[in-house]
Amino acid sequence: MDDSHAPVILVFVVAYLAMCVGVGVWALRRTTSARDFFMAGRDLGILVTGLAVFSSTMSGFGFVGGPGLVYRMGLSSAWMTVISPLGFCCVFYLLGTRLRMVAELRDTISLPDAVAARYRSERTRLLTAVAILLGVVGYLGTQILAMATVLRDVLNNVSFIPEVSLVTCMAIACAVLVFYCVTGGILASVYTDLVQGAVMIVAAVCVFFAALSVVDGGLTGIVTTIMEDDPEAITPWGTLGMMGSLSWFVVFVLGASGQPHVITKLMMTRRVEDARRILPVSAGGYMLCSLLWLSIGLAMRALVIQGGHPELAIPDDAAPQFLQFHAGPMLAGVVFAGLFAAIMSTADSFLNLGAAALVHDIPKALYGRSLSNELFWARVATVLLAVGSAVFVLYSRQDLVALLGAFGWGTFAAALVPTVAIGFNWKRATASAANVAIVTSLAVNFGIELFGLAIPYGITGGFVALLLSMTLFFGISLASPPPVLDPDIEEVMDL
Amino acid sequence: MMERPSRLPLILFGLLLALCVVLALAFVIEEVPFEDVPSSAGGGVERVYTGHGTTHSRFPSMNHGGAGPERHRPILWLAWSFGLLQLALIVGCLALGVKHLERVWAPLAVCGVVLGLIFTMMVVTYQGYLDDVGSPLFFALPVPTAWFLYGFWPAQFLVVTLYVLVFGRSIVTREDMERFRGIVAANRGGQAGDP
- Asked if A205 has any chain B CB less than 8 Å from its own CB, the reply is no
Q: Do A89 and B159 make contact, defined as CB atoms within 8 angstroms?
A: yes
CB A102 within 8 A of CB A258: no
The 3 state secondary structure assigned to A92-116 is: HHHHCCHHHHHHHHHCCCCHHHHHH
Does residue B56 lie within any of the structural domains?
Answer: no
Instruction: Judge whether residue A297 has pLDDT over 90.
Output: yes
Does residue B147 lie within any of the structural domains?
Answer: yes
Q: Do A105 and B64 make contact, defined as CB atoms within 8 angstroms?
A: no
What pLDDT score does A146 carry? 76
What does the alpha-carbon distance between residue A130 and residue A346 come to, in Å, rounded to a whole number? Answer: 19
Q: What is the ipTM of this complex?
A: 0.92
Is the model more confident about A141 or about A133? A133
**Mean pLDDT value across residues A304-314:** 93
Query: What residue numbers bound the domain in which B170 lies?
Result: 68-195
Model-level pTM? Answer: 0.91
| B141 bridge partner residues | B138
Structural domain count of chain B: 1
Residue of A106, A119, A237 to mutate when probing chain B, most B C-beta within 10 A: A237
Instruction: Judge whether residue A311 has pLDDT over 80.
Output: yes
- Among residues A186, A109, A226, which one has the least CA distance to residue A352? A186
- Asked if A114 has any chain B CB less than 8 Å from its own CB, the reply is yes
Pick B23's closest partner by Cβ from A94, A464, A478: A464
Closest-CA residue of B relative to A281 is: B160
Q: Which residues of A58-69 are buried (b: 16+ CB within 10 A; e: fewer)?
A: bbbbbbbbbbbb
What pLDDT score does B1 carry? 41
Tell me how far CA of residue A39 lies from CA of A268, A296, B25, B167, in angstroms: 5, 36, 45, 25
Instruction: Judge whether residue A490 has pLDDT over 80.
Output: yes
**Mean pLDDT value across residues A182-202:** 76
- Asked if A368 has any chain B CB less than 8 Å from its own CB, the reply is no
Closest-CA residue of B relative to A95 is: B97
Pick B9's closest partner by Cβ from A104, A426, A456: A426
| Rounded percentage of chain A residues whose pLDDT exceeds 90 | 39
Instruction: Judge whether residue A327 has pLDDT over 80.
Output: yes
The 3 state secondary structure assigned to B97-154 is: CCCCHHHCHHHHHHHHHHHHHHHHHHHHHHHHHHHCCCCCCECCECHHHHHHHHHHHH
What pLDDT score does B76 carry? 92
Tell me how far CA of residue A445 lies from CA of A434, A460, A474, in angstroms: 16, 10, 19
Phi-psi region at B66: left, alpha or beta (left = phi > 0; alpha = psi -120 to 50)? left
Instruction: Judge whether residue A401 has pLDDT over 70.
Output: no
| Rounded percentage of chain A residues whose pLDDT exceeds 70 | 93
CA A66, chain centre distance (Å): 13
- Asked if A195 has any chain B CB less than 8 Å from its own CB, the reply is no
Confidence class for position A109, pLDDT limits 50, 70, 90: confident
Please name the residues in contact with A302: beta carbons below 8 A apart, sequence gap of 6 or more.
Answer: A215, A221, A222, A225, A226, A308
What pLDDT score does A406 carry? 61
- Which ranges in A357-458 belong to alpha helices (H)? 362-367, 374-395, 398-416, 431-450
CA distance B84 to chain A (A): 10
Q: Do B23 and A313 make contact, defined as CB atoms within 8 angstroms?
A: no
| pLDDT averaged per 10 residues, chain B (length 195) | 67 97 93 81 77 90 87 91 97 92 90 97 91 82 96 96 93 90 83 49
Reported as type and span, the H/E element at residue B55 is strand B54-55
CA distance B36 to chain A (A): 16
**Mean pLDDT value across residues A412-428:** 93
**Mean pLDDT value across residues A393-405:** 58
% helix, strand, coil for chain A, step of 5: 80, 0, 15
Does residue B54 lie within any of the structural domains?
Answer: no
Summarised one tens digit per residue, pLDDT across range B19-68 is 999 999 999 998 888 888 887 666 788 888 888 888 999 999 999 988 87
Highest average pLDDT, of A164-168, A174-178, A233-237, A260-264, comes from A233-237
Q: Calculate helix-pair angle for A111-119, A122-156, nearest 10 degrees.
A: 160
CA distance B103 to chain A (A): 15
Summarised one tens digit per residue, pLDDT across range A266-283 is 888 888 889 999 999 999
What pLDDT score does A2 carry? 54
Average confidence score pLDDT of chain A: 85
Reported as type and span, the H/E element at residue A173 is helix A166-213
Is the model more confident about B157 or about A152? B157
- Among residues A297, A308, A362, A335, which one has the least CA distance to residue A133? A362
What pLDDT score does B136 carry? 85
Does residue B156 lie within any of the structural domains?
Answer: yes
**CB pairs A-B closer than 8 Å:** 264
CA A260, chain centre distance (Å): 9
- Asked if A174 has any chain B CB less than 8 Å from its own CB, the reply is no
10 Å Cβ neighbour count for B47? Answer: 11
CB A460 within 8 A of CB A410: yes
What pLDDT score does A71 carry? 94
Does residue B195 lie within any of the structural domains?
Answer: yes
Reported as type and span, the H/E element at residue B189 is helix B174-189
Q: Do A75 and B176 make contact, defined as CB atoms within 8 angstroms?
A: no
What does the alpha-carbon distance between residue A230 and residue B72 come to, in Å, rounded to a whole number? Answer: 15
CB A138 within 8 A of CB A408: yes
Phi-psi region at A362: left, alpha or beta (left = phi > 0; alpha = psi -120 to 50)? alpha
The class that CATH gives domain A5-395 is mainly alpha
**Mean pLDDT value across residues A402-422:** 80
Instruction: Judge whether residue A125 has pLDDT over 50.
Output: yes
What pLDDT score does A40 carry? 64
Does residue B51 lie within any of the structural domains?
Answer: no
**Mean pLDDT value across residues A313-318:** 85
